[in-house]
Amino acid sequence: MAVETNGDILISDVIAYPLTQKLPQPTITSWGRYDEVSIVLVEVRTDAGIVGIGETLARFAPHAYAHLIEDALKPRLVGQPAGNIAAHWANMRRALSGRAGGMLLEAISGVDIALWDILGKAADLPVHALLGGIGRKRIDVYAAAVNWRDDALMEEQLDELLEQGFRQIKIKMASPVADACRKIELMRRRAGDEVALCVDANWAYGLDEAVEVGKALADCGYVWFEEPLAPENEQGYEELRRLCDVPLAAGESNFTVDQAKRLVTSRTLSVLQPDVARAGGITETRRMAELARAFDVDYAPHIGMSGIVCETASVHLSAAMPNFRIMECEGDRSPFKTELADLAPGCLRQKDGTLDVPQGPGLGLQINWDAVERLRAPE
């Protein structure tokens, strides 16, 4: 039953919980080694007793993010009708008079996700239905990731992921060009021709190197080459697109639709990968996915090293967006995925490379508040 409101539901409080935990196994990309991970959980309370939960991507200084949310964003929200999400988004973004990006947008993302959770609970509808979803009950997911550093380990990790039923698998790659090309062939031979493979370089290459790696990927039938270059090098992406045939994917480093515009409208990217806990929440990620749809570019959510709230918000977007292709699914077993809420995380409930879409009101998550206390970042 929809909640009886007798008018607007008003926001009464915004609380940010900085969380930090050691990972059971370090995550290694070309960008660095992560032994621990942090996020900020955002709780938005209302005078109707409905509580919304969001998540902010906060790779460093989670206390600083929490202060930003409570000091700069909360005063713009308390006393306002919870349902006016686009107005809140614009008002929060006005905290910064410069170009959008960085910590502020990540902070807004957490609040925005929580506001969609409230709207869904008030309407007794799952978020994907509020988004005018197209009714997907299951979504396709791909496994992230096989790590490039050791051939034997690569084969072992690939075999494990194939055994788990994944039909698309990502290879993290940052080897020098010749070794990268060899490993690209090695993985293709091992996986066979039926499995979709993609490579994520996390900006490991310069343009000339990326062209060589990209040609090897095209020859071996990989479905995309993710973040070969630094995200600021948009001209480099455009040249790379002209010089090799492998489809390009990027977007996890972008904030807002404006930062996706050039590479989407030029169709330099074939796949756009915004992170809902970074790019500006559900509101802005939907705008990015819709821009991509208008230019025949696919939407494939990034969720790297995030918690269950980011992952679940991404599932709702995946269920709703017409141009959704496939969602990332991580096996890092971070406590933010396994302990923070009652819903089993993506990789644990995936079957044959697909994942069920939660059908409860809002995001469909029950937060384990004991775990929130246990996972708190030390002062």
Q: In angstroms, what CA-CA distances link 51 with 28, 70, 121, 365? A: 35, 16, 8, 11
Name the minimum Å distance from CB 329 to Mg ion.
13
Query: Contact 190/152 with Cβ under 8 angstroms?
Result: no
CB nearer Mg ion, residue 117 or residue 200: 200
Shortest distance in whole angstroms from residue 204 CB to Mg ion: 11
Q: Which is nearer to Mg ion, 273 or 312 (CB)?
A: 273
CA angle (24, 29, 33) in 5-degree steps? 55
Complex with Mg ion: residue 184 or 363, whichever CB lies closer: 184
Residue in the block written with tokens 């990972």: 23
CB nearer to Mg ion: give 43 or 330. Answer: 330
Kindly write down the DSSP assignment for every residue of 249-300, as one continuous string. EE-TT--TTHHHHHHHHTT--SEE---TTTTTHHHHHHHHHHHHHHTT-EE-
Residue nearest to Mg ion as judged by C-beta position: 200
Query: From CA 183, how far away is CA 235, in angstroms rounded?
Result: 28
Q: For the CB of residue 302, give the shortest distance to Mg ion in the complex, in Å.
A: 6
User: Quick one: the chain helix, strand, coil %, rounded to 5?
Assistant: 40, 25, 35
Nearer of residues 122 and 145 to Mg ion, judged by Cβ: 145
Report the nearest approach of Mg ion to the CB of residue 174 (Å): 12
| Closest CB 144 distance from Mg ion, rounded Å | 8
What are the backbone angles phi and psi of residue 270, rounded to the nearest 5°? Answer: -100, -20
CB of 260 to Mg ion, least distance (A): 15
Q: How far is the CB of 29 from Mg ion (least distance, A)?
A: 8
Q: Give, rounded to a whole angstrom, the gap between the first and last alpha carbons of the chain.
A: 42
Cβ neighbours of residue 160 under 8 Å, at least 6 residues apart?
none
- Cβ nearer to Mg ion, comparing 200 with 298: 200
Spatial separation of the C-alpha atoms in residues 207 and 195, rounded to whole Å: 28
**Radius of gyration of the chain from Cα atoms?**
20
Q: Tell me the closest approach of the beta carbon of residue 201 to Mg ion, in angstroms.
A: 8
CB 1 within 8 A of CB 123: no
| Contact residues for Mg ion, defined by CB under 5 A | 200
Q: Which residue has the tokens 């001209």?
A: 235
Nearer to Mg ion, 55 or 200 (CB): 200
Contact 42, 70 (CB under 8 A): no
State in angstroms the smallest separation of the CB of 226 from Mg ion: 5
- Which of 200, 339 has the CB closer to Mg ion? 200
Shortest distance (Å) from residue 301 CB to Mg ion: 11
Which C-beta is closer to Mg ion: that of 300 or that of 308? 300
- Half-sphere exposure (CA, 13 Å, Cβ side) for 375? 29
| 140/252 with CB nearer Mg ion | 252
Report the sign of the C-alpha dihedral through residues 237, 242, 244, 248, in that order.
positive
CB-based burial, 78-98: b 16+ in 10 Å, e otherwise: eeeebbebeebbeebbeeeee
DSSP-derived secondary structure letter, 74: G
